[in-house]
Amino acid sequence: MKAAIIGSGIGGIATAIRFKAKGYDVDVFERNNFYGGKLSEEWINGYRFDAGPSLFTMPQFVEELFELLGENPQEHFPYYRLETICNYFWEDGTRFSATADLDVFAKNIESTFGEPQTQVKRYLSDCKQLYELTADLFIHSSFHRLDTFLSNRFFSKLIHIPKLRAFHSLNQENERYFKHPKIIQLFNRYATYNGSSPYIAPGTLKVIPSLEYFYGAYLPEKGMIQIPNALVALAKRHGVRFYLNAPVEEILHNGRRVTGIRVHGESKNYDLVVSNADVVTTYDKLIKNVRGPKRIYSQERSSSALVFNWGIKRTFPELDVHNIFFSDDYFSEFNALFKTKTLWHDPTVYIFISCKKVQGDAPEGCENWFTMINAPHIAGQDWDQLIQQARKHILGKLTRILGTPIEPLIEAEWIFDPRQIENRTSSYLGSLYGTSSNSMMAAFNRHPNFTSRLKNLYFVGGSVHPGGGIPLCLSSAKIVSQIIS
């Protein structure tokens, strides 16, 4: 069986490995000169920046790929479990360090914010139970095949539908457990993990914090770029062929059956094709005479990001690997993102500093700040003006909260905005996760991992089921592998 995979994002690489484990002959075609899709890196004046996802959870999904090909993941993919999940900062001077130790975390919330630690533990326990209830169906299975809904496991879960909290927003769900606005805000932020608003997205998203507090937050020993690098090396050792600077121009089909692809003007025959490109881009640019489903064009896009990668010529001991500087008006920030499609003047700022753990990512005595704010998808904005304003607002916020002028410390800078995200990763309108989850039907409305329009064409990655983020992209590869078997 000959398989072509379009794109070497994490979903495409994982699919190649799973196909190789089946004995397929596999070629991966990547239009860029690097692997990893959104999981890439940039070096600027001695500073290394991970240019995409910065949070690593569920490492067993990566380890499983090594085991499929008979290798020991510990020999090729070392990583750390982080003792501190995130440091939080507010304008009023409040600071809070979220430790990975659940008992300490709950105790510290009680002592800092007055929320009973028993309530914190109950909330996170409910989050974990919700994950265990939904993961098999929503994450690990095709949500668009009849056999999924005719299975005993589906019917056994029907009685638990009220527990999904799909008819309440994540904010409403968090207000049900907590009274302190800062703790509600802390748990509301998890909606951003799939590019949604906590004031609109369903309460089902409270499954997300359980991944960190029960299963752990991690960082690969050589940074996030180690994930695609290690998996590409694994795939190559077992015979998968990768072609860089090889943009697929067309997915070839004869009637309703895919027959191959065209690359550099040359037609190549394959038994099946998997697209790791954005699903809208796949239909619009790669498939002729086949229209994509109308609903994928009409659905609300997820948020994007505006990133200032800064080389900072000093260290900040109060910062850790992951840091959040919250907006004083979270609701207005998300209203700006999803209603008026602009940037709020007081954005929540996330700073990822890999050199806290990864040696060599910054010069001695310096730090590499991946400084990100949530941004709307591309909708005709004047991005140059927005970037200029955002930079000023971010620097002002960080200077106030950290008590140190930040701009004089910047000796290297690389800006990454939604336009570049779209160009670099073929993400439609620069949205990071395809469609948003600002609907209780979002899980049902995502494009499936296959299409009835063309036989032997499949889809993986963040723009299709089950969604964006490293664990879900890896799950999409597993689902496609199961469908084909």
Structure confidence at residue 144 (pLDDT):
62
**Residue 483: closest CA among 444, 455, 445, 462:** 455
The pLDDT of residue 151 is 58
The answer for residues whose C-beta is within 8 angstroms of residue 322's C-beta and 6 or more apart is: 54, 55, 82, 84, 85, 86, 87, 217, 350, 351, 352
pLDDT at 145: 59
pLDDT given at position 147: 61
Rounded-to-integer distance, Cα 307 and Cα 75, Å:
33
Residue 277: per-residue pLDDT = 96
Angle, vertex CA 308, rays to CA 182 and CA 429, nearest 5? 90
| Nearest-angstrom CA–CA distance, 457 and 259 | 9
- Over pLDDT 90: what percentage of the chain? 85
pLDDT at 136: 78
* pLDDT computed for residue 292 by the predictor: 85
Q: Report residue 137 as tokens.
A: 């169906």
Domain 2-39+60-66+223-299+440-484 has CATH 3.50.50.60: yes
Comparing CA positions, the residue from 33, 8, 73, 48 lying closest to residue 222 is 48
pLDDT at 5: 98
- At residue 356, the pLDDT reads 98
pLDDT under 70: residue ranges of the chain: 142-166, 440-443
